[in-house]
Amino acid sequence: MIKSASELKTPLTLRPDVLVIGSGAGGAVVAARLAASGAKVLVLEEGGHYTRADFNMREDWAYPRLYQERGNRATADLGFTILQGRSIGGSTTINWTTSFRTPDHVLDHWARAHHIEGLTKSALTPHWDTIEERLGIHHVGLDEVNRNNGVLYDGLGKLGLHRDTTSRNVRGCMKSGYCGMGCPVDAKQAMAITLIPDAIEKGADVWAGARVERLEVAGSRVVRAHAVAIDKDTDRPTGVAITVEPKLCVLSGGAINSPALLLRSGLNANGRVGLRTFIHPVIAMFAQFDEPIEAFYGAPQSVYSHEFARRDGKMGFFLEVPPIHPMLAALALTGYGQAHRDLMVQLPHAQAIIALSIDGFLPGDEGGRVTLKSNGAPKVDYPYTDALRESFRESMKVMARIQFAAGARAVQTLHTTPIRIDRESEIARIDDAPLGPCLNSAFTAHQMGGCSMGGDPKTSVVRSDFRHHDIQNLFVVDGSVLPTSLGVNPSETIYGLASYASTKIH
């Protein structure tokens, strides 16, 4: 049973073998693996615990409860909206199920450029095999491709570009299209219904609504974690303290929250915590079709292309398709008043493609940075570089060509003053449009880095075995350890790394 810290009336002290902070793709896997090995495991999750009975497929319910900062997390300059999960299961509760193993060339780059040892394809493959079996990850067929994704598939085919269907972690999917609001039939094999129950079955204690504020260190060891109970209705601290005195501590709060906790704890001796934060910056193109697309129904992300993932000397990007639900569409679409209303009225005929830029590989690309606000909350800065602007412009033109090839009657950018393009010959107009914070809508649903793994303690936060360079009983196991972005959706990478890391934690 998952316990609720919001129900605590008096302070609580716990003494587990292993404290796991966070219950997402990293924390859940580690908790299950270590509990199965006989360790007394405690999991603390700041978000609430919700089940299929709660998932009503309403955006106004889901965003305040299942997303960081009630769905309002963004970079400091408001240049990027940050979509990141917050509940038992973390972002696996609200992701779109797209699953990829880490590309071989990325693992090779990490070994070569960041001196990471052991993270090879042969070492990780058994872990991926196991997690794919547990989570039902399978390559989907064309019968699972809705019209929204079919636009990308058809357009790529007509232009002779790489295309394929994705793999998804689902069983018995009803293709409702509401993955981002929690699966109402438990088809999505998220951590809350898979690895977290596995951990509990083996004796782990799991608490929801318990926010870890600070780690207390003596010498080179974590001796206490100081947490506070969170009221499940107001999302505010109740004032009830939870103190944990663990033998080992595993930080799995995710990119952004994990570096923020280390910073609040004063654990940044080499100044590298929060640096090299990568976000797969996302730009989109919005298309209108004569026939209904109904992009709010069907498997949300079933087609992709890596045609442009590796561009010599330039930032690569990959292409996928998002669902288009009313609230997310209203936030993404620019314009005001009647013009905005006219676009929303056309929502059943709307289609979108997203391009995710692959950051962290070009010389000098250090990504963004996580620091702290005055209240101790994380602050994220991420720059618009020339390389990113070029990637955004090129990807917008590519997406427009694909949408026209698939039969779009018009496409438009998501600039503050949108560029409407009625024919392919006008696509070059995109080159003259400005790009930058508050000049266009941009997003991230993939946060990586901030506690970068590496062989050199002067330039990284954790070692190749996920152990903190300075704190002997502290491990970081989540997307924050990635030294670059991935060029693919990160969930399966994190599952595999967490399973591998569990063999190193002792």
Q: For 372-429, how does the pLDDT look when each residue is reduced to its tens digit (9 = 90+)?
A: 999 999 999 999 999 999 999 999 999 999 999 999 999 999 998 899 999 999 999 9
Residue 336 has pLDDT above 80, yes or no: no
- For 77, left (φ over 0), alpha (ψ -120 to 50), or beta? alpha
Cβ contact 372:453 at 8 Å: no
Give the pLDDT confidence of 186-213 residue by residue, as tens digits: 999 999 999 999 999 999 999 999 999 9
Confidence of residue 287 (pLDDT cuts 50, 70, 90): very high
Q: Indicate the burial class of 311 (C-beta count within 10 angstroms; 0-12, 13-18, 19 or more).
A: middle
CATH topology of domain 142-170+282-358+385-435: Cholesterol Oxidase; domain 2 (3.30.410)
pLDDT at 335 over 90: no
- For residues 18-40, average pLDDT: 98
- pLDDT the model gives residue 333: 80
Q: Are 355 and 397 in contact (CB under 8 A)?
A: no
Per-residue pLDDT at 327 exceeds 90: no
In DSSP terms, which residues pair with 228 in a beta bridge? 211, 241
Percent of the chain's residues with pLDDT above 70? 100
* pLDDT the model gives residue 332: 78
Q: Give residue 307's pLDDT.
A: 98
pLDDT band at 344 (very low <50, low <70, confident <90, very high): confident
Distance, CA of 132 to CA of 135 (rounded, Å): 5
| Res. 238: pLDDT tops 90 | yes
For residue 233, the model assigns a pLDDT of 80
Alpha-carbon gap, residue 74 to 52, rounded angstroms: 28
Give the model's pLDDT for residue 339.
Answer: 79
Supply φ then ψ for residue 444, to 5 degrees. -145, 135
**pLDDT, tens digit, 9 for 90 and up, residues 428-467:** 999 999 999 999 999 999 999 999 999 999 999 999 999 9
Residue 328 pLDDT level (bands cut at 50, 70, 90) = confident
Nearby residues of 493 by Cβ (< 8 Å), 6 or more positions away = 100, 101, 102, 479, 482, 486
**Greatest CA span in the chain, whole angstroms?**
68
Whether the predicted pLDDT of 75 surpasses 80: yes
Q: Over 90: is that where the pLDDT of 337 sits?
A: no
Q: Where are the domains of the chain?
A: 2-64+83-136+183-275+450-501, 142-170+282-358+385-435
Stretch (H or E) spanning 305: none
What local confidence, expressed as pLDDT, does residue 115 receive? 96
Q: What's the confidence (pLDDT) of residue 343?
A: 81
**CA proximity to 505, closest of 14, 105, 35, 6:** 35
Strands in 237-244's sheet, in edge-to-edge order, are 12-14, 237-244, 221-230, 210-218
pLDDT band for 150, please (50, 70, 90 cuts): very high
Distance CA 449, CA 258 (A): 10
Residue 274, pLDDT above cutoff 90: yes
**Mean pLDDT (the chain, rounded):** 96
| Residue 134, pLDDT score | 98
Predicted confidence at residue 447, as pLDDT, reads 98
Angle at 205 between CA 501 and CA 51, to 5 degrees: 95
Rounded Cα distance, 505 and 252, in Å: 13
| Mean pLDDT value of segment 359-367 | 97
- Please report which helix (H) or strand (E) contains residue 302, including its range: none
Tokens matching residue 125: 């493959």
Across the range 265-281, mean pLDDT stands at 98
As a whole number of angstroms, the distance between CA 394 and CA 349 comes to 25
Give the CATH H-level superfamily of domain 2-64+83-136+183-275+450-501. FAD/NAD(P)-binding domain (3.50.50.60)
pLDDT band of 341, cuts 50, 70, 90: confident
Given a cut of 80, whether residue 325 has pLDDT beyond it is yes
Tell me how far CA of residue 449 lies from CA of 35, 346, 458, 490, in angstroms.
27, 38, 16, 11
pLDDT in tens, 472-491: 999 999 999 999 999 999 99
Query: Measured between alpha carbons, how far is 1 from 261 in angstroms, rounded to an integer?
Result: 27
Q: What does the pLDDT read at residue 235? A: 87
Residue-wise DSSP of 432-482: GS--STTTB--EES--EESS-B-S-TTT-SB-TTSBBSS-TTEEE-SGGG-
Mean pLDDT, rounded, for 44-57: 97
pLDDT of residue 367: 98
